[in-house]
Structure 1
Amino acid sequence: MPAWFAWALMSAVFAAFTAIFAKVGLAGIDPDMATLVRVVIITGVLAVFVAVTGKWGNPAMFTPRNWIFLTLSALATGASWVCYFRALQIGDASKVAPVDKFSLVLVAVFAVLFLGERPAPREWLGIALVAAGVMVLSLRR
């Protein structure tokens, strides 16, 4: 198993717990305030992690390109979290999470458009199956 796959699988497990814990934690509170609390906690945990592992570096060494794209990524993450928490508060976690994972399909399309990546036909099949699965899981009966 490649190292990237193990990390990606762990990411999926933690993302699943994120949905469950957030759904329970959002009961009776504003989702935007909940998102802020989450960000503060994450910031503290990551600061400790980076310091303890000796990875603390000088951000002044980042290039302008690093700053621009990390800022854009942070803004996209924040917008995603705000939307996700609102969706979780009003919808079923078992329906919200699969729609959120439609990002997998969008990442593939954006990677082709902006990064020049070229998924193989077998990979496109998997991406199409994910898209179909999102539709099946999100449709109401």
Structure 2
Amino acid sequence: MAREDVFALPVACAAVPILLALLSAASYGVADFLGGTASRRLHALVVTLISMVVGASIIAVACLVQGGVVTSADVAWSLAAGVVGSMGLATFYSALAIGPMGVVAPVSAVTSAIVPVTSGFALGERPAPMALLGIALALPAIAMVARERRLPGEPRRMASSTLVRALAAGVGFGSYLVLISRTGEASNLWPVLIGRGSSIVVVLTLAAAFGVLRWPRRHDRGVDGAQEVVDEPGRGLRLAAAGGVFDAGGNVFYLLAVRADLLAVVAAVQSLYPAATVGLAGAFQGERPQRVQVVGMVLALVAVALVSLG
């Protein structure tokens, strides 16, 4: 083996977890775009439930083919991850219902990145200095990319109760990343399936409590009652199902990545998923990114490069 190959091999191996984290971010971003579009035709909880069931079905097949050894600890971590993740999602929706999206989204996104990054440090992880710089740049990049335009009629300031909900949603999302990462490698993909099972139970309960478990009819509207009319419920169902496929991929790629690298590093890269959502909205819905979002995307690229080199 040539001398150059000896040095190139470790670098290539080290880049694999970052690539998996980027694939996770891309998958989550696509899932959010599809789910958001579907929520204009169906209730957000119905979209979430459909997405979760479809994703769980795909993961179940993979688990049966791949196998794995699941311990009681794996089950406990997975169930807890599913519960906090779904509760975070419900809290996020409630924050969006009463507060400005342009503030709620970035607060939740940054918090969801801070939780696993700080948890990684608390667990004794010590990324290289260059990777630390990349993580530091990723946090403002997430906030800038996730920032949305203020809609007409939205308040300029966010009430303290809304801020608490946005922070709680981010804690829920970030806690999912931490808890699922604690499962054993021998369990393969079973933790994702188990966590998805507990999430389905939580979302199903919430959907039943809000009375939205019904077949969508013509003239039903979105979450806030001010979005477009449902002329083709089937399109919303298809979008939600497609979102479930990508959401399942995001979970799988993340678990593979975090088992091969530091939690703080993988979570920081994976949390850049809003960039994919913004890009798709611009490409397919004509929503031009704001200047701050473009700057955030550039900063995100720099952050990923630094983390990879680190």
The structure 1 segments of at least 4 consecutive aligned residues displaced by more than 4 Å after TM superposition are 59-62
Q: Percent identity?
A: 17
- Say if 1:102 and 1:134, in contact at 8 Å, map to a contact too: no
1:81 paired to 2:251 = yes
Alpha carbons of 1:133 and 1:2: their partners in 2 closer, same or farther (altered >3 Å)? farther
Shift, 1:74, TM fit:
0.5
* CA distance in structure 1 between the partners assigned to 2:290 and 2:104 by the alignment: 22
- Say if 2:281 and 2:287, in contact at 8 Å, map to a contact too: yes
Task: Indicate which of 175, 180, 189 corresponds to 1:22.
Answer: 180
Cα RMSD of the aligned pairs, angstroms, is: 2.4
Q: In the alignment, what sits opposite 1:67?
A: 237
Q: In the alignment, what sits opposite 1:50?
A: 207
Provide the TM-score with structure 2 as the length reference.
0.41
* CA distance in structure 1 between the partners assigned to 2:174 and 2:278 by the alignment: 21
What letter matches 2:104 in structure 1?
A
Task: Indicate which of 96, 104, 107 corresponds to 2:274.
Answer: 104
Provide the TM-score with structure 1 as the length reference.
0.82
- Say if 2:180 and 2:192, in contact at 8 Å, map to a contact too: no
* CA distance in structure 1 between the partners assigned to 2:283 and 2:217 by the alignment: 31
1:6 paired to 2:104 = yes
- Say if 2:177 and 2:267, in contact at 8 Å, map to a contact too: yes
Alpha carbons of 1:78 and 1:94: their partners in 2 closer, same or farther (altered >3 Å)? same
SS at match of 2:259: helix
Structure number with bigger Rg: 2
Q: In the alignment, what sits opposite 2:190?
A: 33
Alpha carbons of 1:59 and 1:139: their partners in 2 closer, same or farther (altered >3 Å)? farther
- Say if 1:23 and 1:88, in contact at 8 Å, map to a contact too: yes
The structure, 1 or 2, with the larger RCO (C-alpha pairs under 8 Å, 6+ apart) is 2
Shift, 1:60, TM fit:
7.3
Shift, 1:7, TM fit:
5.9
Alpha carbons of 1:54 and 1:138: their partners in 2 closer, same or farther (altered >3 Å)? farther
1:116 paired to 2:286 = yes
Alpha carbons of 1:119 and 1:132: their partners in 2 closer, same or farther (altered >3 Å)? same
Q: In the alignment, what sits opposite 2:10?
A: none
Q: Deviations over 1:8-67 (max 9, x none)?
A: 62343322211111112x124423111110111111111111112333222577712112
Structural mapping, 1:115-134, within 5 Å: 115-134=285-304
- Say if 1:19 and 1:88, in contact at 8 Å, map to a contact too: no
Gaps of 5+ in 2: 1-97, 109-165, 219-231
* CA distance in structure 2 between the partners assigned to 1:92 and 1:39 by the alignment: 23
Shift, 1:89, TM fit:
1.9
Alpha carbons of 1:12 and 1:138: their partners in 2 closer, same or farther (altered >3 Å)? farther
SS at match of 2:287: coil
